[in-house]
Amino acid sequence: MTGWINLPNILTLLRLLLVPFVIQAIVAGRPMLALALFGAASVTDILDGWAARRLRLSTQTGAYLDPIADKVLMSGVFLALAAAGSMPWWLVGIILGRDMYILLAVAVFLLLSSARKFPPSVWGKLSTFVQILTVVTCMTRNWLQISFLDPLTSAMIWICAACTIWSGLHYTWRGIQLARAH
């Protein structure tokens, strides 16, 4: 395979293609299907990273496409869960607000400085992990209808909000440091 067409990028594209099906399953009230599709999309994320590193198939296209696919999946799932009444809108606002804030900050840096690399922080990765756990907990509660999962889901929502806000604050601190360096 040549150029950008390789196994990791095909897996990333597959993840993007799964997003509308995950969203449709959530909105249609099919939690088992939604969870299975979300799981399949998550597996493509794990496999594309593994293939890019292990098979040395990293491309610039993949470096841009992978985080976009991740954000489209997670944003779509949170929006669909809120639309279905399973997730509070204020949490969706925090998550999407932080993501838009980070994108805006990166755009400003790209326009006004020579900085071109913006690696994720440990807090950003933790926030993403907690967001995934929150989604899986919520979808599992919707599927199994076990009352034990109600307080766990509520706790995960608050933990998710705290981690998302903290990572946003951490990215702000890193941005200030980067601005001072440039």
Amino acid letter, residue 110: L
Estimate the crossing angle of helix 31-54 against helix 60-83, to 10 degrees. 170
Which is nearest to 38 in space by CA: 123, 124, 165, 134?
Answer: 134
Alpha-carbon span 15 to 8, nearest angstrom: 11
58-78 tens-digit pLDDT: 787 777 888 889 999 999 999
Which is nearest to 4 in space by CA: 52, 50, 41?
Answer: 52
Query: Against a cut of 0.95, is the pTM above it?
Result: no
74-127 tens-digit pLDDT: 999 999 999 999 999 999 999 999 999 998 988 888 888 877 777 788 999 899
DSSP string, 157-174: HHHHHHHHHHHHHHHHHH
Pair 8, 52: CB distance under 8 Å = yes
pLDDT interval class at 1 (50, 70, 90): very low
Length of the chain equals 182
45-58 tens-digit pLDDT: 888 888 878 877 77
Alpha-carbon span 82 to 71, nearest angstrom: 16
The answer for residues whose C-beta is within 8 angstroms of residue 29's C-beta and 6 or more apart is 84
Q: Which H or E element spans position 2? A: none
